[in-house]
Chain A
Amino acid sequence: MALLTPFVYRFNVSVAGVASYNPIPYSKACIDGSAPSGYPTVSLNTPVQSGGQDPVLVPFDGKITRMIFSTVRCSTAVAPPAGPNVTVKIDCYKVGSTLGANVMFGTVQFPVSLISSYNDSGSNQFQYSYVSGINLAVKAGDMLGFVFRPEIGTNTGISTIGGTNLTVEIQS
């Protein structure tokens, strides 16, 4: 599809702490930071079982240029050190035409720091993480999925996260 005018397309998804490819439930937790009853958490250190969301249809040829990631809350086993505490990795998929044929076409890494930290607490907060300069080509008609990749074998001090939020920008 040829476009004379640059287009910008942005969408927002959850990538962890929700059942894979299930509708995201309504929950005020995502805005007020209270107990994420609608958002079961996902482990940072075990193979992900519940990351993902409904696929998003791409409206024009272009590329993913920017993303921003945040999460409502996380749990820590110990008080993490200051500075970036963990790198959250989001795998970008194009949904295949047959079940199980999804193709990963890129991974975006988000270094995130804790805003507040408490020993063995489930109410910590990550600072948001913004990544620009991404150059992942997409085409009109692609169905995109974004899946949280856990830190397998890495002891970050952070056990689980919940209520994630990912905004993706595509430019033509």
Chain B
Amino acid sequence: MSTITTSPGSLYKQELLGGGGIASTNVLGVNTNGGVDGFCILANGVIEDATLTVGSASVTPASYVAPVTLTIGVYKNLYGSKSLVGNLNFVINNPNVSSNTSSSTFQTSVLNDVNISINQGDIIGCEFSGSTTSSGISQVQGLELTLFCYDGAAI
């Protein structure tokens, strides 16, 4: 979980989904497997951009229908409960689904202008919300989520 930028006050955040002992995540699963520890926000700002990388996936090539949308829910801790503040809908693509159905890889998906407001003291956490359709993908694992957060108003 780290941050490094050339612009004082901005924040770069990296988290893992489906890793850390969680071997795989059902692509249709909702908040049941795969998530990140919350992190405390230092200064008011916005989540501006986000990327998602899928380490590997189990795919049935004959059933694969692109594009596939994977959703990551962004939550704020409300001290005793949590509140969904936005969904990150990543479109993942694989131009050449592997014949090896357990090791297909996907291109990193990038979202810009997310513009989710965050405030000092917020505990932000993200959970895998899966896909609404099977699209021939049964399992994903090693998901890596990066949030680019900036102090101040949206840019």
A residues contacting B by CB (< 8 A) are 5-14, 23-28, 30-33, 56, 59, 66, 68-70, 72, 115-116, 123, 125, 127-128, 130, 165-167, 169, 171
Contacts and interface: CB of A to CB of B under 8 A. Distances in A.
Interface string B36-48: 1111111000000
B42 A33 contact: no
Most buried by A among B1, B9, B35, B81: B1
8 contacts: A10-B2, A11-B1, A31-B37, A31-B124, A32-B75, A33-B81, A66-B42, A125-B80
Contacts of B152: none
Contacts of B125: 28, 30-32
A26 B41 contact: no
Majority SS at the chain A contact face? strand
Interface of B: 1-13, 20-22, 31, 35-42, 75, 77-82, 120-121, 123-125, 127
A11 B37 CA distance: 13
B2 A30 contact: no
A56 B80 contact: no
A32 B77 CA distance: 6
B139 to A, nearest CB: 17
A5 B69 CA distance: 38
A-B pairs, 4 with minimum CB distance: A31-B125, A10-B3, A128-B121, A125-B79
Contacts of A125: 79-80
Given A33-B78, A56-B2, A59-B4, A26 B22 contact: yes
Contacts, number: 113
B8 A8 contact: yes
A65 to B, nearest CB: 10
Contact of B4 (A9, A66, A72, A115): A9
B37 A30 contact: yes
A75 B5 CA distance: 38
A36 B34 CA distance: 17
A14 to B, nearest CB: 7
Contacts of B75: 31-32
B123 A165 contact: yes
Given A8-B9, A33-B80, A165-B39, A70 B123 contact: yes
Nearest to B37: A30
Nearest to B6: A5
Given A123-B80, A130-B120, A130-B121, A167 B6 contact: no
A167 to B, nearest CB: 5
A66 to B, nearest CB: 6
A32 B35 CA distance: 12
B40 A25 contact: no
Given A12-B40, A169-B42, A72 B22 contact: no
